[in-house]
């Protein structure tokens, strides 16, 4: 092991520390969310505590459903670091997006319940669920 590697993390160790897959780290490097790390003379990536914190931040943002573009903005990669007001507004916009998705999912759940309630189960081959899913809805959006 080289001296540089002794002072940092391998990609596998960073992966374990931040709770993301190695492929994810490489992808984030490719799209510019993470900077290319330093390398040993043997070409192995070497990461430090700053990269671990940044990767943990990205993972937590993704867990909260933030799209990569918003994460890029939160990291200040496009136009510099946003201020607290901008971060707050972005968070509230994202929250509203999540609420809209929840409403859509609740509607889907009600529709599926209605479709499932048409079924009396059993071993017959004529299934009302299949019929319902195959039915053309004249009011469906085009």
The mean of the pLDDT values for the chain is 87
Q: How do the domains of the chain map onto residue ranges? A: 1-64
Share of the chain above pLDDT 90, in %: 58
Q: Give the SS3 label for residue 49.
A: helix
CA distance 69 to 65: 11
Nearest to 55 by CA among 16, 90, 83: 16
pTM of the model: 0.74
| CATH dotted code for 1-64 | 1.10.1660.10
Q: Please report the DSSP string for 68-85 in residue order.
A: HHHHHHHTTTTTS---HH
Cβ(68)–Cβ(94) below 8 Å? no
Q: What is the pLDDT of residue 128?
A: 78
Q: Give the SS3 label for residue 90.
A: helix
Q: For residue range 13-36, what is the model confidence (pLDDT) as tens digits?
A: 999 999 999 999 999 999 999 998
Higher-pLDDT residue of 137, 42: 42
């Amino acid at each position: 092991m080289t001296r540089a590697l002794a002072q940092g993390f391998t990609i596998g160790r960073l992966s374990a520390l931040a709770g993301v897959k190695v492929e994810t780290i490489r992808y984030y490097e490719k799209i510019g969310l993470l900077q290319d790390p330093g390398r040993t003379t043997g070409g192995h990536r070497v990461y430090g505590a700053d990269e671990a914190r940044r990767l943990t931040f990205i993972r937590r943002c993704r867990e909260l459903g933030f799209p990569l573009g918003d994460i890029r903005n939160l990291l200040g990669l496009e136009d510099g670091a946003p201020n607290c007001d901008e971060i707050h507004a972005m968070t509230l916009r994202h929250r509203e997006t999540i609420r809209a998705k929840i409403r859509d999912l609740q509607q889907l759940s009600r529709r599926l319940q209605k479709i499932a309630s048409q079924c009396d189960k059993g071993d017959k081959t004529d299934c009302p669920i299949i019929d319902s899913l195959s039915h053309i809805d004249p009011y469906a959006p085009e």
